Amino acid sequence: MKHSNISIFIAHVGCPNMCSFCNQHTISGAEKVPSAEEVRQICEKAFNEIRCPENTEIAFFGGSFTAIPRDYMIRLLETAYEFVGNGKFKGIRISTRPDCIDNEVLELLKKYGVTSIELGAQSMNDDVLKANDRGHTSADVFNACRLIREYGFELGLQMMVGLYKSTEENEFETIDDIVEICPDTVRIYPVVILKGTKLAELLESGEYKPFEPETVFDICSIALMRFEYEGIKVIKCGLHASEFVERDMVGGFYHPAFREVCESLIYRWRTEEFIAYHEPENNMYRIAVNPSCISKAVGQKKSNIEYFRSTGMGIEVKFIGDSSIPVYEVGEVK
């Protein structure tokens, strides 16, 4: 059954520094941090509306949860914990910084029903982390992941593609390191440059020259495909749709259907491989894909169908559902 989150944004409170890309008020749409009573109201409302609360986590996102003032963090956890277990919600999910994890914090999170911890790794290259004012190192990520695993939490990592000073090689090194860590979940975020951030200033000055859009889609598609093949669930690919992001974005790689575009690209590559080793029947390639992926193979607005039709050879492709074919793979129609 599908997992879901009740997202509660804590905005920028708790972060010890301002990262180059960060404008949490824009990302979350939040103007103030929630009180414990507001968290209670959110949880009560969600519990009355959600059909399967046992598959739902209360998720504190937006800031560095374990770096916020301790008494405030405990109040939030105590309130959320009232709604965990005994036929209520599955648990509590938090996101935080890799350098804000230690044994004492993890003991506290365990006490109050936290089940999942996501770390904003963003990059595993120390030069890129430093250039973007992250304030932590790749070693901090490895160490925090080890501790989180030892305490039995579900581990999530977040990576950000296209940061200032990053190269394509850096991105693929980050993908390799995440595969080595093997978290339970990953979020892939292409950089979105927002007003009022250091990246916006660097972009305006010409110091920051972002990747070309095609490069970002290629990297994110490869990351998505690689993680899924390694058994790492990609729970987000692309920044969530938001009127605030669209209003304050000055550059970067936002698309309201970013993941769908990446998945279409994966199936385009797979189809090209198939065509290279097979012959058409009456100029038609009939290709088997997982039934859940037919729309992904066809592409947004039939983009892949049109792509192969317009190659100059007039290639026609048709995708047929076959439940024996894994996601992101193609095969012969039986």
Give yes or no: residues 209 and 293 share one domain.
no
Give yes or no: residues 203 and 284 share one domain.
no
d(C-alpha 95, C-alpha 158), whole Å: 9
* Structural domain harbouring 9: 4-256
Give yes or no: residues 308 and 164 share one domain.
no
| Three-state secondary-structure class, residue 182 | coil
Give yes or no: residues 218 and 307 share one domain.
no
Please state the pTM of the whole predicted model: 0.92
CB contact at 8 A, 265 and 221? yes
Q: How many alpha carbons lie under 13 Å from residue 275 in its C-beta half-sphere?
A: 19
Which pLDDT band holds residue 24 (cuts at 50, 70, 90)?
low
Query: What sign results for the dihedral spanned by CA atoms 161, 120, 34, 83?
Result: positive
What domain count does the chain have? Answer: 2
Please identify, among 256, 281, 309, the residue that sits at the C-terminal boundary of a domain.
256
Domain CATH number, residue 250: 3.20.20.70
> Is 90 exceeded by the pLDDT of residue 207?
yes
Give yes or no: residues 312 and 238 share one domain.
no
Give yes or no: residues 284 and 161 share one domain.
no
Please identify, among 227, 256, 285, the residue that sits at the C-terminal boundary of a domain.
256
Report the pLDDT averaged over residues 156-177.
Answer: 98
For 289, the enclosing helix (H) or strand (E) is: strand 284-289
Give yes or no: residues 70 and 159 share one domain.
yes
Please identify, among 216, 240, 256, the residue that sits at the C-terminal boundary of a domain.
256
Helices (H) and strands (E) in the chain, counts: 13, 12
Give yes or no: residues 30 and 163 share one domain.
yes
**Would you state the structure tokens that stand for residue 71, as one six-digit string?**
């008494």
Give yes or no: residues 194 and 310 share one domain.
no
Residue 68: DSSP 8-state = S
Mean pLDDT over all residues of the chain?
92
Give yes or no: residues 250 and 269 share one domain.
no
Tens of pLDDT along 52-83? 888 899 999 877 899 999 999 999 999 999 99
Tens of pLDDT along 256-289? 899 999 999 999 999 999 999 999 998 899 999 9
